[in-house]
Amino acid sequence: MGSLAASSKTLDALRQYDADVAALTRQPDASARKCLVMEAAEAYWGYVVQREQFGLMDSEYIATEYAIPEDVKLAMGPKRKA
């Protein structure tokens, strides 16, 4: 997953989860949220790498522009093997 669409999709899923928990329409589930964070982190990493291949090196711009959550930024990287 390296495209902006993939990054956006995973971030949207994480944001929706957080919104649902905040609105009390969903029970918090640390395992489910961690999975969403890891998926978003992998997609964010892929998008950053894709941009770097074109010489666009400012990942902080992406983080700010797309409001990447801090826990996603800290987990950014390729998918880890189980």
The pLDDT of residue 34:
96
- Please report whether residue 80 resides in a domain: no
State the chain's mean pLDDT as an integer. 88
From residue 24, give the alpha-carbon distance in Å to each of 11, 18, 34, 35. Answer: 20, 10, 19, 20
Domain count, the chain: 1
Q: What is the mean pLDDT of residues 2-15?
A: 80
The boundaries of the domain holding residue 35 are: 4-75
**Burial grade of 11 (CB within 10 A; 0-12, 13-18, 19 or more):** buried
